[in-house]
Amino acid sequence: MIKKRIDAKSLELKERVVAINRVSKVVKGGKRFKFAVLVVVGDGERYVGAGIGKAKEISEAVRKGIDKASKELVEIRRAGDTMPHPVTGNFGAAAVLLKPAPAGTGVIAGGVVRAIMELGGVKDVVTKVVGRTSNSINVAWATLKAIKETRTAEEIYKLRGKKAPELAAPSAD
């Protein structure tokens, strides 16, 4: 399957810094600090991405993270304002469960998953990190993997070679 790249320049992307990791290296003169920053970007409607930027300064790491996240945008398939079906995404030891929720529920999620869902335009969803880790980077990748695995009802009918039933069509009795 050929991956279609989404043009980030045509979208108005919002960004959110989700995690900052300070890494130190001990050298003869003392400690050298570098930063790894996890950034989530999205248009607030249907596209979202995450990226890691690494640099000696936080601002430079954030810029790099935004650039990487903009190149890796994913389309969130939705049914109204929620997910079309329950889905689990795995990455490393992290597993993230995304479940559809009734209108008005809101985004029930923690940290990284909340940022991804809100910037992706999902308004009602229940999520749970069910893996053996809460590492924010692995949780972000697991969430994006779950988003990639979602399918709408129309896509499933098309894959099976069937026509979607008319849900609102009145029956002829």
Residue-level pLDDT at 158: 81
pTM recorded for the entire structure: 0.86
Residue-level pLDDT at 2: 53
Residue ranges for the chain with pLDDT beneath 70: 1-4, 166-173
6 class by beta-carbon count within 10 Å (0-12 exposed, 13-18 middle, 19+ buried): middle
